[in-house]
């Protein structure tokens, strides 16, 4: 099955569902079994209102995340003022792509969890949850739900600042419960379009082992702006209105929505791109 956001919500024929890159014969939907198994109980959903890719980047003072403000309904740009960056406590922030109702459920669940934690900290010396702990919670939740074959249809980046270790945190988790970390991360279409740009810029300064000096806040933000612009040019489910979250030891700061300077003049000269007759 194709988990790519551009394909989310598109039913696939068994022929399309075959994944040529896969070296192992993974379980493919069996129509005969499906008939019997899924007619009485059906909780396998498909995403409806979706957010496109989100980006994450480690830099000198912490982590930056970027997400645009669009929630699409299929190819319809349905909600154009949705914030897909969500702060959790003082030192963690989520960037969420995928199904927006599942995102709202997650927000409710996590805010509840953090409220309980805060209540404990009022009467006792109870440390706040570290980004890695919130990430572990999400990874367990996503894996448990995929194991019930009732996934939470999102791909999420968790950015944070670990106040104990005095280091930044950046992790990915998705609907399959798959997790990984890297100094630069992107979900969905962004993993094809933006991740190479992020890696190139990151490694140019920090070296391939990432041990050199990291990007400054200004450089990191300029890089994310550039990536969001490139994504807007090429991702048909994106919007040129996005926010950047910055997580440092000072806390989480989420920017106002902003737009990239775009240049469409070239389209005039291209047959099939501009408004001219064929």
Partner 1 sequence: MAMHAERSAALHELTSAPIQHAFNPYEDNGGTILAIAGKDFSVIAGDTRQSQGYSIQTRYARKVWQLTDRAVLATNGFAADGNNFVKKVKQRLEWYEHAHHKQMPLKSIARMIQTILYGKRFFPYYVYNILGGIEEDGTGAVYSYDPVGTYERESCRAAGAAQSILQPFLDNQIYFKNQTPEPGAEPFIPGNLPLSTVLALVVDSFTSATERHIEVGDGLEVYVVMKKGRPTDDLVGEGKLAPGMAVEELDALGEGDGEKTFLVTRSLKRD
List residues binding partner 1 (CB under 8 A).
1, 3, 10-14, 17, 19, 21-24, 26-29, 31-32, 34-35, 38, 44, 46, 143, 146-147, 149, 151, 172, 176-182, 191-192, 195, 208
Neighbours of 189 (CB within 10 A): 20
Minimum distance of partner 1 from residue 250's CB (angstroms): 28
Lookup: tokens for 241: 């209105």
**44 included as an active-site residue:** yes
- Nearer to partner 1 among residue 137 and residue 143 (C-beta): 143
Minimum distance of partner 1 from residue 10's CB (angstroms): 8
Minimum distance of partner 1 from residue 75's CB (angstroms): 17
- Nearer to partner 1 among residue 131 and residue 177 (C-beta): 177
Alpha-carbon torsion angle 21, 23, 25, 26, nearest 10: -60
What strand order describes the sheet that includes 242-248?
184-186, 54-59, 62-68, 242-248, 251-254
- Nearer to partner 1 among residue 192 and residue 249 (C-beta): 192
Q: Which of 13, 28, 44, 248 is catalytic?
A: 44
Phi, psi for 223 (deg, rounded to 5): -65, -45
Cβ atoms of 203 and 196 closer than 8 Å: no
Lookup: tokens for 147: 């194991």
Spatial distance between the Cα atoms of 143 and 157, rounded to a whole number of angstroms: 15
- Nearer to partner 1 among residue 145 and residue 243 (C-beta): 145
Minimum distance of partner 1 from residue 146's CB (angstroms): 5
Residue positions annotated with a catalytic role: 44
């Amino acid at each position: 099955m194709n988990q790519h956001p551009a394909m989310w919500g598109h039913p696939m024929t068994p022929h399309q569902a075959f994944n040529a890159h896969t070296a192992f014969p993974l379980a493919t939907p069996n129509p005969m079994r499906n008939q019997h198994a899924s007619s009485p109980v059906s909780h396998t959903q498909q995403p409806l209102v979706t957010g496109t890719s989100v980006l994450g980047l480690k830099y000198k003072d912490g982590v930056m995340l970027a997400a645009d403000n669009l929630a699409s309904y299929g190819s319809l740009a349905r909600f154009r003022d949705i914030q897909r960056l969500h702060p959790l406590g003082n030192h963690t922030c989520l960037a969420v792509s995928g199904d927006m109702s599942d995102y709202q459920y997650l927000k409710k669940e996590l805010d509840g969890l953090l409220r309980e934690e805060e209540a404990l900290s009022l009467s006792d010396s109870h440390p706040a949850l570290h980004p890695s702990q919130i990430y572990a919670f999400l990874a367990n939740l996503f894996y448990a739900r995929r194991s019930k074959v009732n996934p939470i249809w999102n791909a999420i980046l968790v950015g944070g600042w670990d106040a104990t270790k005095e280091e930044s945190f950046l992790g990915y988790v998705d609907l399959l419960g798959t997790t990984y970390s890297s100094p630069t991360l992107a979900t969905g279409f962004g993993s094809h379009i933006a991740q190479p740009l992020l890696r190139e810029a990151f490694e140019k300064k920090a070296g391939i082992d990432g041990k050199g000096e990291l990007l400054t806040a200004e450089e990191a933000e300029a890089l994310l702006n550039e990536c969001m612009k490139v994504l807007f040019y090429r991702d048909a489910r994106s919007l040129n209105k996005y926010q950047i979250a910055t997580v440092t030891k000072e806390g989480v700061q989420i920017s106002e929505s902003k737009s990239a300077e775009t240049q469409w003049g070239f389209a005039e000269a291209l047959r099939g791109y501009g408004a001219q007759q064929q």
